[in-house]
Chain A
Amino acid sequence: MNTAEPRSWTGRAMPRLEDPAILRGWGRYVADVAAGDDCLHVRFVRSSHAAGRIRSISAPAHVTLVTAADLAGLHPIRAVLDRPDYVTVATPILADDVVRFVGEPVAAVLAPSEAEAEDALDEVVVDIEPLPAVLSAEAASRRDAPLVHDTEFPGDPNTVVDGRIHTPGFDEAVASADRIVTVQVGSSRQSAMPLEARASHAAYDRATGRVTLHATLQMPHMTRTGIADCLGIPEDDLRVISPDVGGGFGAKMTLAREDIVVVHLSRTLRRNIAWIETREENFLGAWHSREQVYDIEGAFSAAGELLALRGDLVCDVGAYSCYPVTFGVEPLMAMAELPGCYRVREYSVRSRGILTNKCPIAPYRGVSRPVQVLAMERLMDVAAAELGLDPVQIRRTNLVGEFPHRTPSGLVLDDASHLETLQLAADMADLAEFRERQRAAREAGRYLGIGFSSFAERTGYGTPAFAARSVPMTLGREEIATVTPGAERVICTMDPSGGVTLRIGASPHGQGLRTTLSQVVSDALGIEPSSVRVIDSDTDTTPYGWGSFASRAMVIAGGATLIAARELAERLRVLAAHRLGGLPDDIDLVEGHARRRDTGEEIALRVLARDTYHNAQLIPDKGQPALEAVGVYDPAGTFANACHVAEVEVDPDTGEVRIERFLVAEDAGRLVNPAVVDGQIHGGIAQGIANALYEELIYDERGVLVTTSLMDYLPPTVAEIPPIRIAHLETISPASITGAKGVGEGGTIGAPAAIANAVSDALAPLGIGVFHLPATPHRLRTMIRQASRTKEAAS
């Protein structure tokens, strides 16, 4: 008998179970499903006008053309929020009569191969009568602006969300302040840009009339609901499978019009149909994000205490809503979470979502938080400079230090470590040493800078949090299908050989969830992760769940897993006690055995399992002849937190920013697998660096997207990402039953502000501050040129 203390799997940086197959090229993606299948390929004809009326769509007879007229009977997508300021707009499956952005699908062609479908595309003639387009939130909300949708807007034109909060003591707090600090921050449009663009393959089964859709998704169950609603079919007529997914980052949680066309064509033509999106289409039509401008005003005391915060937040949401989370996702998150990790006693905010004739926005890793944190962190640095304080000091003065903390928008911050991560980050950065280097460099004409960014990352929030976005209306409630995510369910089964299968509603797509959930199960059952199989992303074989987004999977699906595994463990203890004597509480589950703590007697779990299924007469208490437990978890949410530090050097002649160091003090609660957590942070920071310095979608004055390839839109490569140093704190919060907090978005949320602060610190001698991202070399160089001209003129 082995008496050594069993090591816990949780907390181990074990290699991901997913990796060997993916690294060897054995992964299976949608395009692999389509390859070699006798399917028809679809290509979408897309609008080349930002706004217009379709006069005609035509093609030679040999081209199989599908237009809105062929989709009669299908319902448009309606993404609904139950708020009086929310305006619902319908998204037709293919543009019907009018087009509202360049890239909007207006028709489809079908051919036996992708190349032939592209040939057919060239033969389609779309005649569009151009209409006036609105291309900025500012222009769209002006009086008499052309309307993107012909509908009633209760407030300003094209304004689809207009949220406000004004705390009672706000005006008084502002009046008592010593200094009002204002900043305007902004972010250009970005794209999540997953390596694998969208793709779907619908297989028609003649025997049952059922369609199996393979698509690259983050939310397979919700996608099935959405498609079934639009087609007006029972959900059971459709099976949705998301095989290996080449990156999602939010871009694959929103229902695609194209996927609905693919399923519809498969049903009506009784054929297998595939759509493999091109990169260009992905740029044009697969969701943008974060085109935002915030005007922020902080009322500070002389000592640097933030007494009140005012914000006017504007999000350009594009031409349509996104299903299921709606185009309220950016403005409402910004409104609720702007104060972030700071003690903001009084708060006055207006947050708007405004329609424009551009590609619709949808969540992208971090959603609004990269811009929120940019706003708050620039505010802190500007206020520090104006008040003669050190950036660390002003943060220390204002960070929330006591928990739970109720924010002015009603969120409750659970146990976290804002002050501690700030201190840890400052220690890692060795600020005094840096200031010395910076001074020496400046004397040599070089521009070094350091930037801090403290933030809270709201993660793992279930139904209560999503429901709070709504302000329920009473009228028409029964006809509007609002969607409020969500609980997660898992089913944990031990088979007769003692192996464990975990069926989850979450839908991992690169996060290593199969590994981390196996670690959780293994600890509860005293088995090895290699004997746990996680089954996900198939509506036929997994329980209904919301999928993977919003840094929720480890918290919510992980929590549900722990609940199920514990229940299964309890059952195994009961069965073991029946066989070994003693009480269930005296039984430990270790190394694949149930062992009596007092006598050391043990029985293999596989024996218990086999007997449960095959010798049911041995089961006590008339229990079921099966080993299965269901876990459900639906928490209110928990906040991870971190402090990022960027050190940069700016080349004043070219405007190039080189990131010399990137440091992270992270608190994601209990680290189920530290390597997986670090991987999430690294990837997130890479996308944060992309947001800060590189990526930008640009429309021209006619509303044509000019950045439609990876020659124009520039995701950084490994050469542009510096080494990242991470230190962890682990605050265990009761808000998450596993103790784990989400960590999927933090990197992206914190990095842009840290870099903006660092670049501003570097260029402080020239009086330059960075407020709009990305800070491209061209923009920085232009500011530097102007600053030196102003200086010259002054001297």
Chain B
Amino acid sequence: MKPSAFDYVRPLSLDEAMEQLAIDPFESKVLSGGQSLIPMMNFRLARPERLIDINRVPGLEGIVPGQDRVTIGARTRHLAVQNTGLQGPLGSLLRTAAAQVGHLPIRTRGTFGGSIAHCDAASEWCLVARLLDAEMTVRSTRGERTIPAADFFQAIFTTAMEPDEILTSISLPALDDHHVTGIAEFARRAGDFAIVAATAAVKIEDGVVTRARVCLGGVSEVPWRSQAAESALLGSAWSAGAVAEAAAAAADEVDPPSDSHGDADYRRDLVRALLPRALNTAGAGS
């Protein structure tokens, strides 16, 4: 379990990082928290020849609330997200989600942007990003561009980023207080990647759902926006029964993979069980 040989550089500015990455982009990897990349290298599933360590690059950390969007620096540690004082439904979603990422040592080191760039279909941050139609800002020596979440996550471990691009920040819409948000997941052990995760942001005005976003993890190659659940919820009277119906619709809609942790039917059952838990409707009326 030792990585194959690689070169290591630690640039001190974003420009320098981009230049280093541009030298040999296909054989290089950006090193952020290292909590996914290093295990993959030890398993020899990744064999980069060069690591560009961005941990000394200034300006990549922090959670900055703006007018209608919140911007999160790519290198913001999971733990900093867990401790954010951000108000409102978005803040509470971020804190709840962060607490379920791995274990404390992993959260101390691993980063928000690293998770998004890594693109694991069960990752909390990929789910949240897809749920809220996040926008990813990426830069290279060729310039800067912004990629919407719908285009960003392409396949397992595959994003729309080019190999010479560095993810610098992610922006999420600020959610007003009419929103109910939540995330619930099922893992065999505390700290494991979820077998299935469900996250939702629902806007309720006068007891009626006026906007519904539902995103599921562990049921497809990339985070799955459940249109079935969203349209079931939209326009319905907010109730536990409506959420249960939406969960059932989502479970019917997905076509999940089977592996040693559970077959497709089991994952569908988990979708049915978890979406109501994400929206914490246990106490709500039916």
List residues of chain A with CB under 8 Å of any chain B CB. 113-115, 118-119, 278-280, 651, 653-656, 694, 696, 698, 706-707, 709, 711-712, 714, 716-717, 719-720, 776-778, 781-782, 785
- Interface pair A118/B189, CB less than 8 Å apart: no
Q: In the complex, what residues of A have CB within 8 A of residue B2's CB? A: 113-115, 118
What is the bound-complex CA distance between A439 and B147, given in angstroms? 55
> Are the C-beta atoms of B189 and A694 separated by less than 8 Å?
yes
A781 & B191 in contact (Cβ 8 Å cutoff): no
Closest 5 CB pairs of A and B: A653-B273, A719-B190, A115-B2, A778-B262, A278-B1
Minimum Cβ distance to chain A for residue B264 (Å): 11
Instruction: Say whether B269 contacts A785, CB under 8 Å.
Output: yes
- Once the chains bind, are B191 and A280 in contact (CB under 8 Å)? no
Which of B3, B189, B262, B272 touches A653 (beta carbons < 8 Å)?
B272
> Which residues of B sit under 8 angstroms from A709, Cβ to Cβ?
43
Q: With a CB–CB cut-off of 8 A, which chain A residues contact B262?
A: 777-778
Give chain B interface residues in 229-286, CB to chain A under 8 Å: 260-263, 265-266, 269-270, 272-274
**Which residue of B is nearest A778, CB measured?**
B262
Partner of A781, one of B3, B4, B43, B269: B269
Of the candidates A114, A712, A716, A781, which one forms a contact with B260 in the assembled complex, judged by CB atoms under 8 Å apart?
A712
Q: Are B1's CB and A280's CB within 8 A?
A: yes
Within 8 Å CB of A651, what residues of B? 273
Q: Is B23 an interface residue (CB 8 A)?
A: no
Are A719 and B44 in contact, with the CB atoms below 8 A?
no
**In the complex the two chains form, is A118's CB within 8 Å of B260's CB?**
no
Give Cα A709–Cα B193 distance, bound, in whole angstroms: 14
Q: Are B189 and A119 in contact (CB under 8 A)?
A: no
**Interchain nearest-CB distance for B196 vs A (Å):** 9
A sample of 18 cross-chain residue pairs with beta-carbon separation below 8 angstroms, ordered by A number, consists of: A115-B2, A279-B1, A280-B1, A280-B43, A653-B269, A653-B272, A706-B260, A711-B193, A712-B260, A716-B189, A717-B190, A717-B191, A719-B189, A777-B186, A778-B263, A782-B265, A782-B266, A785-B265
The CA of A709 and the CA of B3, in the complex, are separated in Å by: 16
Contacts of B4 in A (CB 8 A): 115, 118-119
Chain B binding surface SS class = loop
Determine if A714 and B3 form an interchain contact, defined as CB atoms under 8 angstroms apart: no
* Contact code string B1-18 (vs A, CB < 8 Å = 1, else 0): 111110000000000000
Neighbour of B44 across the interface among A113, A114, A118, A706, CB < 8 A: A118
Shortest C-beta distance, A427 to chain B (Å), equals 32
Contact yes or no, A778 B266, CB < 8 A: yes
Q: Which residue of B lies closest to A700 (CB)?
A: B260
Complex CA gap A781/B269 in Å reads 8
Chain B residues near A717 (CB-CB < 8 A): 189-191
Which A residue sits closest to B186, measured CB to CB?
A654
Question: Cβ of A115 and Cβ of B3 under 8 Å apart?
Answer: yes
Known contacts A706-B260, A777-B186; A654 and B273 CB within 8 A of each other: yes
Bound together, the chains give a CA A119 to CA B274 distance in angstroms of: 44
**Does B188 belong to the interface (CB within 8 Å)?**
yes
Chain A's closest residue to B266 (CB) is A778
- Contacts A114-B2, A115-B5, A720-B189 given; 9 further ones with Cβ under 8 A? A115-B3, A118-B2, A653-B273, A694-B188, A714-B189, A777-B186, A777-B266, A778-B263, A781-B266
- Closest residue of B by beta carbon distance from A693: B188
A618 to B273, alpha carbons, bound, how many Å? 84
B196 nearest in chain A by CB position:
A654
User: Shortest distance in angstroms between B114's beta carbon and chain A's nearest beta carbon?
Assistant: 18
- Residues of B at the A interface (CB closer than 8 Å) are 1-5, 43-44, 186, 188-193, 260-263, 265-266, 269-270, 272-274
CB neighbours (8 Å) of A114 from chain B are 2
Report chain A residues within 8 Å CB of B3: 115
Is the contact region of chain A dominated by helix, strand, or loop, or is it mixed?
loop
- Report the bound CA distance from A267 to B261 in whole Å: 46
Identity of the chain B residue whose Cβ is nearest the Cβ of A777 in the assembled complex: B188
Alpha-carbon distance A707/B274, docked complex (angstroms): 27
Of the listed residues B260, B263, B265, the one surrounded by the most CB atoms of chain A closer than 10 A to its CB is: B260
Taking the closest CB of chain B, its distance from the CB of A785, in whole angstroms, is 7
| B274 closest partner in A (C-beta) | A654
Alpha-carbon distance A277/B270, docked complex (angstroms): 37
Chain B min CB distance to A783 (Å) = 11
Distance A279 CA – B261 CA, assembled complex (angstroms): 20
B274 vs chain A, min Cβ distance (A): 8
Q: Report the bound CA distance from A706 to B3 in whole Å.
A: 22
CA distance A651 to B192 in the complex (A): 19
CB distance from A283 to the nearest CB of B (A): 12
Give the complex CA separation of A777 and B267 in angstroms: 11
Q: Which residues of B contact A776 (CB under 8 A)?
A: 188
Most chain B CB atoms below 10 A, which of A711, A712, A777: A777
Taking CB atoms, residues of chain A closer than 8 Å to B44 are: 118
Find the B residue at minimum CB distance from A719.
B190
CA distance in complex: A720, B269 (Å): 23
> B residues within 8 A CB of A694?
188-189
Docked pose: A781 CA to B190 CA in angstroms: 19
Give the docked Cα–Cα distance between A256 and B63 (Å). Answer: 54
The interface residues of chain B lying within 8 Å CB-to-CB of A118 are 2, 4, 44
- Chain A nearest CB: distance from B31 CB in Å? 18
Cα distance, A781 to B273, chains bound together (Å): 11
Interface-central residue, B190, B262, B272, by most chain A CB under 10 Å: B262
Give the residue among A653, A719, A776, A785 with the most B Cβ atoms within 10 A: A653
A114 — nearest CB in chain B belongs to which residue?
B2
Cβ-defined contact, A707 with B186, below 8 A: no
Bound-state Cα–Cα, A716 to B186, Å: 15
Query: Which residues does chain A contribute within 8 Å of B190, judged by CB atoms?
Result: 717, 719-720
Min distance, Cβ B44 to any Cβ of chain A, angstroms? 7
Bound: A776/B273 CA distance, A:
17
Q: How many Å lie between the Cα of A653 and that of B188 in the bound state?
A: 14
Query: Looking across the interface, which residue of chain A has its beta carbon closest to that of B261?
Result: A778
Task: Give the CA-CA distance A654 to B272 in the complex, in Å.
Answer: 9
B1 contacts which chain A residues (CB < 8 A)? 278-280
A714 CA to B188 CA, complexed, in Å: 8
Complex interface: chain B residues within 8 A of A719 (CB): 189-191
Complexed CA–CA distance, A716 and B190 (Å): 9
Tell me the smallest distance from the CB of A197 to a CB of chain B, in Å: 10
In the complex, residue of chain A having the shortest beta-carbon distance to the beta carbon of B193: A711
Closest CB-CB distance, A150 to chain B, in whole Å? 33
Indicate if the CB atoms of A656 and B186 lie closer than 8 Å.
Answer: yes
| A698 close to B269 (CB less than 8 A) | no
* Chain B min CB distance to A275 (Å): 13
Task: Give Cα distance in the complex from A698 to B260, angstroms.
Answer: 8
B220 CB to closest chain A CB (Å) equals: 19
CB of A115, distance to nearest CB on chain B (Å):
4
Question: Smallest distance from the beta carbon of A53 to chain B beta carbons, Å?
Answer: 28
Query: Which A residues are in CB contact (< 8 Å) with B5?
Result: 115, 119
The listed residue with most A CB atoms (<10 A of its CB), out of B1, B262, B273, is B1
Residues of B close to A720: CB separation below 8 A: 189-190
Among residues of B, the one whose C-beta sits closest to the C-beta of A782 is B266
Query: Nearest A residue to B262 by beta-carbon distance?
Result: A778
Distance in Å from the Cβ of B40 to the closest Cβ of chain A?
A: 11
Q: How far is the CA of A198 from the CA of B146 in the complex (A)?
A: 49
With both beta carbons as reference points, the residue of chain A lying nearest to B1 in the complex is identified as: A278
Chain B residues near A653: list those with CB within 8 A. Answer: 269, 272-273
B37 → chain A closest CB, angstroms: 15
